[in-house]
Amino acid sequence: MVNILIISHSFKIAEGTKELAEEMKQADIDIQIAGGTSGGKLGTDADLIRQKLENMDSEDGIVVLADLGSAVMSFNMVKEWLPEAKQKKIKLADAPLVEGAVLGAVEASLGKTLDEVLAAIEKKSIINKNNF
């Protein structure tokens, strides 16, 4: 199964997004978070992101959802430090954090492949609020 990593500047956003996503999952997938700095402030903790990526099961892939600037930058940086085989199985989604995590949790827990999960959550319609 594809697993999910949520990276946010805010621990509360990361934790709350995980909670929403967990509620929708149809089977046991691993949803992990890296939220805020090591000191509990707003920001990103590159070491924590690295630790999560190293320890999560990436056999079927990991979809990463990130919020702003340094979350994306820190992720891209630590990803480059992983073995190449693992790098290929980790993809940052061009998707909004909350919607991407919720739909991603559904798709991943239905046994979809990494590319299928990404295709689903990267659809532009994911952000529609008036005509959904």
Residues at the contact surface with another protein, assessed by CB under 8 A: 37-39, 41-47, 68-70, 73-74, 76-77
Query: Which stretch of DSSP H or E encloses residue 69?
Result: helix 69-80
- Residue type, position 115, single letter: D
| Given the residues 4, 7, 8, 9, the one annotated as active site | 9
* Spatial distance between the Cα atoms of 43 and 55, rounded to a whole number of angstroms: 22
* Spatial distance between the Cα atoms of 105 and 29, rounded to a whole number of angstroms: 8
Residue closer to another protein by CB (options 74, 109) is: 74
Query: What is the closest distance, in whole angstroms, from the C-beta atom of residue 74 to another protein in the complex?
Result: 5
CA count, 13 A, side-chain hemisphere, 78: 21
Residue closer to another protein by CB (options 76, 128) is: 76
Asked if 8 and 71 count as a contact pair (C-beta separation under 8 A), the reply is yes
9 noted as active-site residue: yes
Query: What is the closest distance, in whole angstroms, from the C-beta atom of residue 76 to another protein in the complex?
Result: 7
Query: What is the closest distance, in whole angstroms, from the C-beta atom of residue 14 to another protein in the complex?
Result: 14
Residue closer to another protein by CB (options 32, 44) is: 44
DSSP single-letter state for residue 125: G
Residues belonging to the active site? 9
